[in-house]
Structure 1
Amino acid sequence: MKILLLEHPRMVCPERCNDIANTPLSSCLHSGYIAGMLIREGHEVEIIEGFLEGLDYPEIERRVQEMQPDILGVHMVYHWQTDTALYDFLHKVKVEKYSSYITAYGYYPTTDFEEILKQCPAIDSVILGEPELTFAKVPEALTREFTKKYIYQESLKDLSGLAQRDESGRIVFQRRELVRDLNDLPFPVRTEALFRLPEVNLQGSRGCYGGCTFCYINPFYGQGSQWRGRTPENIIEEIDDLIRKHNIKDFYFTDPNFFGPGERGQQRALRLATLLKAKNIRFGIEARVNDIHDETVSALVEAGLRHILIGLESGSDRSLKRINKMTTVAQNERAIRILRKHGIEPNIGFIMFEPDSSLEDIRVNFEFLKRNDLMRNLAITANMLYHHLIVLKGTKAHRDLQEAGRLEVQASSYESMVTLTDPKVANLAMIMRRITNFLFDCMAGIWGGKVPEPENAQERYSKINALLVKLFENGLMTLESGEQFTEVQIETLVKTTEIEITGILKLEETDDQYY
């Protein structure tokens, strides 16, 4: 069969310019792994990188019309609203008969499949969770439908891993068992657009043994989800293939939990470090703080580890318990010390404003950041001083807050807003979010590598960094003294700070150099 996989276009919302949903669509390699599996099964497969290649829908339509795929697979990503542009395009695909069967897959549709199937009749099914095994079964079922139409429903209706409509239009679904051995999966197909990214993404493991209330990773994999890792030898085989064919030197492991649990996870990481050492590459990882150990980090740095994202999330043990992080502030600080000992300044996951934060929690967080010297990089500082808890459907946080009647559903039901318990905390959160969003918007071109840095860049960034820290502390002190900012005061403070940032960067209102 001819199968087309679409990484669809999307617009970045200016007010959400630094939120997690702006990660490149292809970072999780869903389409690449599906393509690898389908090619192994003998199908003709093409991937369209609508987002990374900056394609519009007329161009994508031309390519779909040219291929006339039997199946169109869409890797759907959430971007804060109902994607009417995508839905209109898929409707046209069906009306013009460019493709007879459309299925969607990814983190977002796995969780919000009912809403998606209701909103877009052109989508025939949604693949739930890991897509490879289920997608590989769909062509087989459709082949039976093409040859014997009367068994169409029988061929698809019992297919595990799919959400779809039955004869009456009711949405039915069932999950598929997880891939037991990740080594059995073919290596993912990578497009030219992926090779133009600064680092080539790798996936060495799936799932997480943690239970953070806000995390969508384990809900995506489903009931019984657990951490599963490829063997170091299998990972090295893929890396060797990429080096041999593309001379790749920079990699990034997209695993939410690089190490895996306990001593077994540490030994696996040490084995991988031993094998990587001779490759002369550089790589980044993501990890939980309790998995940061001196011996393992030392070995990984010798093997080429250059950057790491760790989920500190809070400097308050009380907040860490509320979000079920299963770590402590002491472990956070220990991880920072170990990484710095080996020359790694970590990137930080931090939730300054979680729903039940008090001013005391915010003060504890701020003192933690100061004590550990974590506010000296502008991008990291701006991120940490504004970030709130993002509440996504399917997570424990969403269920708990929904049961408590605290959720405010937005334009899409996938994400909900929650009113912060303490109005003074909400006051500070609003100020910091507006100002940091302005900064992210100003710096998007530079941080995205699209435009060069300004003259004396580091000096300018240091000034803005100090401005943000001072703004946060002054605002916190004002609120701690019993005062509260009025809407007029907030507006004045935000506009004044925006002017200061613009002045430091020497931006004119008509100058789009940085955007």
Structure 2
Amino acid sequence: MKRYRIVLIFIEQIGSEAWDNWEALGIGYLASMLRQRENYVEIVKIPSIIKDCHVNEILDKKPDVVGFTLPCAFEERFKQLGSKLKEQNPQLHITCGNRYATDNANYLLTSNSWLDSVIRGEGEYTIVELVETLEEDGSLSGVLGVHYKENGKIIQNPDRPLPENLDLLPFPARDMIKDMKGEKHAWLITARGCVNKCSFCNSSFKGIQRGKVWRGRSPENIVDEMKYVINETGCTNFFIVDSSYESPGNFGKKRIQEIASEILKSNIDVNYGVYFCANTWNDNDLPLLELLRKSGLEYAFIGIEAGTEKGIELYNKKATIEDNYRILDLFRRAQLGTKVGFILWHPYLSYDELKENIEFLYKSNIGYSFRNYACMLYPYKGTAIYEQIKKDGLLIGDYDTELGHYNWKFADERLEPLKNFLCDFLDHTACFMKAASLEYKILSLINRTTNYLLRHELSTELIDRFREQVDLIYKQLNEQNHKFILSIISCFELNKSEGELSSIKKEMIMKTTELVDTLEKEEMLYIKRSIRANLIRERINVN
């Protein structure tokens, strides 16, 4: 029997260089499952602007099945590419998956005559059965987890139960790492499912597939995959994309302790980042954080999202404001880097809540980061917050297939011009863009270098001095941003003149430029000193 040839496609998002180093881990798992049964599988990354040459590139591989991973922002380019492929090869079976496809299976099949099927939920076992059935020219009626067309009708098969033992899955194919530009990063899943219920999140398939929501892999299996990635690609930098790495509860913390111990026992030299919740950490966890740091933990992305009681309730966060303050302080004392999720702008925001959030950013010393003043809520279909905004009549227009979410309006219309001004000002002014780029670069440099030096019992004097200088500059930025952002808010709230607003902008740009230039000079000075002291190795990225 002929084994089908499969092409799995990832389409880049428009206008984002970050996609150069984006790894589509889901189709990596699908590719490995299919390769286990000796199918020819190729993963193809297509640029955001689709041309005929990209269609030819795919067809030249002579696929029998083409599969798309379909995040919400890619729908228009998915339609453009899929329709052209089907037009040139009507025999192709075209399918798609991912969260957006799962939530919108019937709509996608109805609105795209060329689309043959949609895989709902976690798709490793489903795609194998789909391909096996197509190879045998059988009916898809028995394939769980598939919606498909038959004689012009859309057939909805029952959803497939969630896979229970993740250790049984093959390691995902890492084809995309080989094409990454600059420093390589591998994504890693140590568990699937999320026990939290944030109102804005659509990241997992809970409620769609039967089975235990949270499922974790064994520490040995996880570290074996790290070793596999290092051996296959040379990549030693990982980002663990579990919704919350320390979940669930006390068992979760014991588990990540075991993973860290297994990394150290295996004597592999890795750096990794994770997602953490704010509500589960306290001073008793300092020994655990120290162990995680020793094993290579570089930073944690902490989903704080709000600095007000109203915001915490709206986003259905388990953490309190006190929890948010505590985890930031804890990580500073543990000398671990933090990136913060903070959704400042939402439809129910008032001027009072806005100013309360600005005070939280200032008092928690994360107001130095300009992106925290420009992040807004993106309501995705199927989330609790989407349903609430829709019920309250605050959605604007239809689903935005280019941006990948629904747009909304403020209940207090006075906030719209302020939001538009601040987001445009902070997102598109050179000094703020440079500050954002430096923030990530310096975070990585400080934490990766510190971990390396401590692991090898080398002096941290130079990096400690550099950290002190960075903290001082960030403190100045925090103070400055607090002052200027409140002044801008006041201009809009009190309808002050354009001249006064222009004066604030000019002064903020000038002072920010000075501080950001100083930050960059301190970085270069540290690098020069470290090179002279022979403390920077080639693998620590300083470019």
TM-score per shorter chain, which class?
A: 0.7 to 0.9
Aligned match for 2:65, one of 51, 71, 84:
71
The DSSP-based 3-state class of the residue aligned with 2:41 is: strand
Please give the secondary structure, in 1, of the residue aligned with 2:312. helix
Q: So what's the TM-score if we normalise by structure 2? A: 0.78
Q: Does 1:169 align with 2:153?
A: yes
Tell me which amino acid in the other structure corresponds to 2:405: E
Are the aligned partners of 2:367 and 2:477 in contact in 1 as well (CA < 8 Å)?
Answer: no
| Counterpart in the other structure of 1:513 | none
Task: Select which of 112, 135, 145 maps to 2:127.
Answer: 135
Give the corresponding residue for 1:200. 186
- Is the alpha carbon distance of 1:304 and 1:9 closer, same or farther for their aligned partners in structure 2, counting shifts above 3 Å? closer
2:402 maps to 1:389: no
Structure 2 equivalent of residue 149 of structure 1: none
Unpaired segments of 5 or more residues in structure 2?
442-469, 518-543
* Residues 435 and 494, structure 1, Cα contact 8 Å, conserved in 2: no
Q: In structure 1, what is the equivalent of residue 484 of structure 2?
A: 471
Matches within 5 A, 1:87-236: 87-97=79-89, 100-145=92-137, 152=138, 155-170=139-154, 172=156, 174-191=158-175, 192-194=178-180, 197-219=183-205, 222=208, 226-236=213-223
Size of the aligned set, in residue pairs, is 475
2:271 aligned residue (271, 278, 282)? 282
* Distance of 1:444 and 1:177 partners within structure 2: 47
CA drift of 1:405 comes to 2.4
The answer to whether the 8 A contact 1:229-1:260 is kept is: no
Contact 2:162-2:209 at 8 Å conserved across structures = no
Q: Deviations over 1:114-148 (max 9, x none)?
A: 33323322221121121211111111111232xxx
CA distance in 2, matches of 1:501, 1:167: 66
Deviates more, 1:54-63 or 1:302-311: 54-63
CA contact (8 A) 2:366 2:478 kept: no
Measure how far apart 1:221 and its partner are: 7.0
The letter for the 1-side match of 2:389 is L
Provide the secondary structure at the position in 2 that maps to 1:289. Answer: coil
What SS does the aligned partner of 1:283 have? strand
Per the alignment, in what secondary structure is the counterpart of residue 129 of structure 1? coil
Q: Is the 8 A contact 1:161 1:176 kept in 2?
A: yes
- Offset at residue 171 of structure 1 (A): 6.1
Distance apart, 1:469 and its partner CA: 4.0
CA-CA distance at 1:493 after TM superposition: 7.6
Assess if the C-alpha contact under 8 Å between 2:426 and 2:433 holds in 1: no
The one-letter code sitting in structure 1 at the alignment partner of 2:164 is R
- SS for the counterpart of 2:246 is coil
Pairwise CA distance, 1:351 = 1.0
Q: Report the CA distance shift for 1:120/1:73 in structure 2 as closer, same or farther (over 3 A).
A: same
- From the superposition, tell whether residues 174 and 493 of structure 1 become closer, same or farther in structure 2 (CA, over 3 Å): farther
Instruction: Report the counterpart of residue 409 of structure 1 in structure 2.
Output: 397
- The offset of 1:34, in angstroms, is 0.3
What is the distance in 2 between the residues matched to 1:46 and 1:90? 17
Q: Does 1:37 align with 2:33?
A: yes
TM-score by length of 1: 0.82
Which of residues 40, 43, 60 is equivalent to 2:54? 60
- Consecutive unaligned residues of structure 1, counting only runs of 5 or more, are 146-151, 452-457, 507-515
The CA deviation at 1:212 is 0.4
The structure-2 alpha-carbon separation of the partners of 1:493 and 1:66, relative to structure 1 and needing over 3 Å to count, comes to farther
Q: Residue 225 of structure 2 corresponds to which residue in structure 1?
A: 238
Determine if contact 2:189/2:242 at 8 Å carries over to the other structure.
yes
Matches of 1:311 and 1:393, distance apart in 2: 21
Q: Does 1:259 align with 2:251?
A: no
1:356 aligns with 2:332: no
In 1, the alpha carbon distance for the partners of 2:500 and 2:384 equals: 33
- What amino acid is aligned across from residue 201 of structure 1 in structure 2? W
- Of residues 410, 426, 436, the one that matches 2:416 is 426
Give 1:435's match in structure 2, choosing from 421, 425, 434: 425
1:8 partnered with 2:11: yes
Partner residue of 2:529? none
Q: Aligned partners of 1:340 and 1:498: how far apart in 2?
A: 27
Contact between 1:7 and 1:26, CA under 8 Å: does it hold in 2? Answer: no
Please report how far the alpha carbon of residue 385 of structure 1 lies from its aligned counterpart in structure 2 after TM superposition: 0.5
With over 3 angstroms needed to count, the CA separation of the structure-2 counterparts of 1:131 and 1:364, relative to structure 1, is same
Q: Please give the root-mean-square deviation of Cα atoms over the aligned residues, in Å.
A: 3.5
DSSP 3-state at the match of 1:291: coil
Task: Please give the alpha-carbon distance, in whole angstroms, between the structure 2 residues aligned to 1:328 and 1:391.
Answer: 23
Q: Please show how residues 309-320 of structure 1 align to structure 2 within 5 Å.
A: 309-320=301-312
Q: Offset at 1:190?
A: 0.7
Contact 1:353 1:425 in 2 (8 A): no
* Cα contact 2:102–2:121 (8 A) shared by 1: yes
Q: Secondary structure of the residue that 1:391 maps to in structure 2? A: coil
Distance (whole Å) between structure 1 residues aligned to residue 432 and residue 416 of structure 2: 24
Deviation at 1:218, TM superposition (A): 2.9
Aligned AA (2:421): I
How far apart, CA to CA, are the structure 1 residues paired with 2:14 and 2:344?
A: 27
Percent identical across equivalent pairs?
Answer: 23
Local SS of the residue matching 1:179: coil
Residue 226 of structure 1 deviates from its aligned partner by 1.9
Note the C-alpha offset of 1:289: 1.2
Q: Which amino acid aligns with 1:47?
A: I
Q: Which residue of 2 aligns with 1:447?
A: 437
Question: Does the C-alpha gap of structure 1 residues 364 and 219 become closer, same or farther in structure 2, counting only changes over 3 Å?
Answer: farther
* Cα distance in 2 between the residues matched to 1:259 and 1:502: 36
The superposition leaves residues 395-433 of structure 1 with CA deviations (integer Å, 9 ceiling, x where unpaired) of 111122222322113453662122222234434322211
Once the two structures are superposed, what CA deviation does each residue of 1:434-490 show, in whole Å capped at 9, x if it has no partner?
1122138983899399x9xxxxxx8999998776544311123445xx62468x689
Q: For the residues of structure 2 that align with 1:308 and 1:417, how far apart are their CA atoms?
A: 29
CA contact (8 A) 2:68 2:96 kept: yes
Which residue does the alignment assign to 2:532?
none
Distance (Å, rounded) in 2 between the aligned partners of 1:92 and 1:344: 49
Tell me if structure 1 keeps the 8 A contact 2:359–2:482.
no
Native 8 Å contact 1:208 1:227 kept in 2: yes
Question: Which one-letter code corresponds to 2:163 in the other structure?
Answer: V
